[in-house]
Structure 1
Amino acid sequence: MQPLSDLLVLDFSTLLPGPMASLFLAEAGARVVKVERPEGEDMRRYPPRLGDEAAPFAALNRGKESLALDLKAAGAIERLRPLLARADILIEQFRPGVMARLGLGYAELKEAYPRLIYCSISGYGQAGPRANEAGHDINYQAIGGLLGQSLRRGGVAPQPPALVADIAGGSMPAVLNILLALRERDRTGKGCHLDIAMTDAMACFAWYGLATGQASGRYPAGGEGVLTGASPRYRLYATGDGWFLAVGALEEKFWATFCTAIGLEEPLRHDACDPDATGGRIAQIIAGQPAAHWRALLEPLDCCCTVVRSLDEAVADPHLTARGLFDRQVEEPSGRRMVSTPLPLAPVFRDAAPALRRSPAVGEHDGEGG
């Protein structure tokens, strides 16, 4: 029996943050019922297709159920009441006030269902000057100071590779706080309203810059932090064939091994004297050989130097496959299969066997009630 196998989750969310949060809960055993518009949620229309289904939707909705319902229609709330009466957790991702206007706000539901844990995920939170402002991941990273940590004024702006705000600011804090709320409910018998703002977590990721600024009286500008470009020990270096070497040799023992391996001149190894000179010379050396050379030379030395892997290399990596990262599969309604979204869920909390599970068709479980 999995830790959440006795819980029912009603998921009103769409796209990424809420659906990934409920996927965590589903993978830990919870029954998750997606409440969708009759035409289905927006992610069902995102390319590419996997048979009859959108691949991004299938990857996020393994093992869930679908209830198609127009929340604005007469009688919609009454249709939901059997599920609401049994639900432990409700996840919603509308702008503040929308659920209340539909008759499903926390204040309305709290009286009838006092044990309900009600989780609201939004960009800027349920209150504050920006609460009703539209945004996406890149906007939340921008306003929270995270993007500015690595951008140099006048420099080239790289596209962030990760949806940090959506996942690390929305999905994961939602799961963390839901689990804390379940623990609190065990003690008190009462549910609560969780206000998860994706922008809030961006300051968490800027922790080092915040500490530096408060201690020194000056917050570091973009590229000035040890981990954001100022140190030659922690950078990406272009290889001779146009790819990249990730160097994270912060500690002296790793740095010494790295410098010796690449033949860096002794004076430049004292990188605190002139970091730009040291970094510039390392860039010249690394650019002199292809990625395969540095992979063969540096990775066996255990000095925190790794050639960047493409995604197709990552899914075939012996370590990642040995960890079972891509074992869980999802089948869309017409029968095609793909790897489900890999989740960092401890094996002890997963089902014993990586069972194949379906992603639901729109309204597939309409007649199943509570």
Structure 2
Amino acid sequence: MALAGVRVIELAGLAPAPFCGMILADFGAQVIRVDRTRPTMALDTQGRGKRSVAINLKTAEGIMLLRKLCLQSDVVLEPYRKGVMEKLGLGPQELLKENPRLIYARLTGYGQSGSYALAAGHDINYLAMSGLLSRLGRSGEKPYAPLNLLADFGGGGLTCALGILLALLERTKSGKGQVVDASMVEGAAYLGSFIWKSSRIGMWNRPRGENMLDSGAPFYDTYQTSDGKYVAVGAIEPQFYSKLLQGLELDSGDLPPQMSFNDWPQLRRVFAERFASKTQADWTRIFDGTDACVTPVLSFDDVSSHPHNQQRGSFIKDSDGEESPRPAPALSRTPAEPCLASDPCIGEHTVEILKEYGFTSEQIEQLLAAGTVECNAAKL
């Protein structure tokens, strides 16, 4: 796989960092999740392909152990607020001094500098600070956050993974590591670059929810079908719009012009009435094989059984039968090979990991006896 041989130490956290770690693991990196000992519950639902070592970081011995793991790895991925790792003596300044090839990735909401660097927040806050939240929502309604995807996962986990890969690539030339400062605010804003850079051509001149791509246009929206399901319509270009009208059995001569903004409410009512006359399956049969840009809105229960997704193997099941998306993108020569085993329980691989990092059985026994580490599955 593309990242085979890359060792990653991931400090256990929530959502964005685990996603970043899972991306790296899916494409072949050896990702070791460092969990705290005696946790109340496992919070990482994106542990695919990872292994877990449980270390008591409230002890000097635990901190020294983590230090040794970091110094023998290629990447450190940490999700804490600014300053936490420095208090442990494990900041990038200390670790890069001893291991100049280390990639030290720091994934936070507001980044490592600025007046909000120490502030708490969540996806909706980072999205608000990025400017994007102001653009999300229906006309006449308040802004809304579309799940916690844009900042946490797009601007956070995915962008951080990109930063790590770029740093690893650059290291092949310089032989040196560096710090990746991944801010979810900036990552989300960067995802929205199109919005900024397309404003000059008039695509976002109207209020929120009244532009072509933000649910303002009746030919770029979702419609309920007679069985209570939905279809998605994205017929922007004239040739696609013509196919949409053809499938709906509507005559363009009886309708307002496609780009007549003032007539969009009327056009939406016509489309809504027509789509409500048939089931989702009916409309799928009508529009499949055309360029009308009409697709069913698939539920999580239905998505893997759609013929297109089935043919590409777009969804996979693990050993517990849990379904999830296949890693993307698909590489022709070194594709991802996602692990189908259950996600690791906390401390499951403590012993085998310590052995890989050069600890003897006697040393591991001493660490276990002292409570510096825990092993909850493997045995000596």
| TM-score category of the 2 structures, normalised to the smaller one | 0.7 to 0.9
Indicate the residue corresponding to 1:364 in structure 2. Answer: 348
Q: After TM superposition, list the pairs within 5 Å mapping 1:282-301 onto structure 2.
A: 282-301=271-290
Q: Which deviates more from structure 2 when the two are superposed, residues 89-98 or residues 155-164?
A: 155-164
Residues 204 and 211 in structure 2, CA contact (< 8 A), matched pair in contact too: no
Provide Cα deviations, 1:149-168, integer angstroms capped at 9, x if missing partner: 23246427666245221111
Indicate the residue corresponding to 1:272 in structure 2. Answer: 259
Deviation at 1:123, TM superposition (A): 0.9
The sequence identity of aligned pairs, in percent, is 35
CA–CA distance in 1 between the matches of 2:177 and 2:4?
18
Indicate the residue corresponding to 1:132 in structure 2. Answer: 118
Q: 1:63 to 1:207 in 2, by over 3 A?
A: closer
Residues 33 and 65 in structure 1, CA contact (< 8 A), matched pair in contact too: yes
Q: How many residues align?
A: 350
Provide Cα deviations, 1:199-255, integer angstroms capped at 9, x if missing partner: 112223433432344456985431132110222221112223332221001111110
Deviation at 1:341, TM superposition (A): 5.2
Q: Which deviates more from structure 2 when the two are superposed, residues 288-297 or residues 118-127?
A: 288-297
- What one-letter code is carried by the residue in structure 1 that aligns with 2:295? T
Indicate the residue corresponding to 1:249 in structure 2. Answer: 235
1:163 aligns with 2:152: no
CA–CA distance in 1 between the matches of 2:40 and 2:153?
18
Q: 1:137 to 1:26 in 2, by over 3 A?
A: same
Q: 1:123 aligns with which of 100, 109, 131?
A: 109
Residues 5 and 28 in structure 1, CA contact (< 8 A), matched pair in contact too: yes
Q: 1:264 to 1:162 in 2, by over 3 A?
A: farther
Indicate the residue corresponding to 2:37 in structure 1. Answer: 38
Q: Which deviates more from structure 2 when the two are superposed, residues 209-218 or residues 143-152?
A: 209-218
Residues 233 and 250 in structure 1, CA contact (< 8 A), matched pair in contact too: yes
Indicate the residue corresponding to 2:177 in structure 1. Answer: 191
1:33 match: secondary structure: strand
Residues 328 and 342 in structure 1, CA contact (< 8 A), matched pair in contact too: no
- What one-letter code is carried by the residue in structure 2 that aligns with 1:79? L
Deviation at 1:259, TM superposition (A): 1.0
Indicate the residue corresponding to 2:360 in structure 1. Answer: none
Provide Cα deviations, 1:180-206, integer angstroms capped at 9, x if missing partner: 101111111110000111111222343
Deviation at 1:85, TM superposition (A): 2.6
Q: Which deviates more from structure 2 when the two are superposed, residues 122-131 or residues 272-281?
A: 272-281
Indicate the residue corresponding to 1:19 in structure 2. Answer: 18
CA–CA distance in 2 between the matches of 1:156 and 1:238?
22
Residues 13 and 94 in structure 1, CA contact (< 8 A), matched pair in contact too: no
Deviation at 1:35, TM superposition (A): 0.7
Indicate the residue corresponding to 2:330 in structure 1. Answer: 346
2:104 match: secondary structure: strand
Q: 1:240 to 1:145 in 2, by over 3 A?
A: farther
2:60 match: secondary structure: coil
Q: 2:312 aligns with which of 309, 316, 323?
A: 323
Indicate the residue corresponding to 2:77 in structure 1. Answer: 91
Q: 2:92 aligns with which of 82, 92, 106?
A: 106
Q: 1:124 to 1:219 in 2, by over 3 A?
A: farther
2:117 match: secondary structure: coil
- What one-letter code is carried by the residue in structure 2 that aligns with 1:284? E
1:312 match: secondary structure: coil
Deviation at 1:275, TM superposition (A): 2.3
Q: 1:341 to 1:9 in 2, by over 3 A?
A: farther
2:288 match: secondary structure: helix
Q: 1:145 to 1:221 in 2, by over 3 A?
A: farther
Residues 203 and 212 in structure 2, CA contact (< 8 A), matched pair in contact too: no
Q: 1:89 to 1:41 in 2, by over 3 A?
A: farther
Q: 1:158 to 1:299 in 2, by over 3 A?
A: farther
Q: Which deviates more from structure 2 when the two are superposed, residues 211-220 or residues 69-78?
A: 211-220
Provide Cα deviations, 1:13-68, integer angstroms capped at 9, x if missing partner: 412211111111112211111111113486x25xxxxxxxxxx62xx112211111
Stretches of structure 2 lacking an aligned partner (at least 5 in a row): 358-380
Stretches of structure 1 lacking an aligned partner (at least 5 in a row): 46-55
Indicate the residue corresponding to 1:48 in structure 2. Answer: none
Residues 159 and 182 in structure 2, CA contact (< 8 A), matched pair in contact too: yes
1:223 aligns with 2:222: no
Q: 1:145 to 1:61 in 2, by over 3 A?
A: same
Q: Which deviates more from structure 2 when the two are superposed, residues 138-147 or residues 91-100?
A: 138-147
1:301 match: secondary structure: coil
Deviation at 1:78, TM superposition (A): 1.8
Q: 1:243 to 1:267 in 2, by over 3 A?
A: same
- What one-letter code is carried by the residue in structure 2 that aligns with 1:362? I
Deviation at 1:298, TM superposition (A): 2.0
CA–CA distance in 2 between the matches of 1:296 and 1:158?
33
1:315 match: secondary structure: helix
CA–CA distance in 2 between the matches of 1:292 and 1:218?
34
Residues 213 and 220 in structure 1, CA contact (< 8 A), matched pair in contact too: no
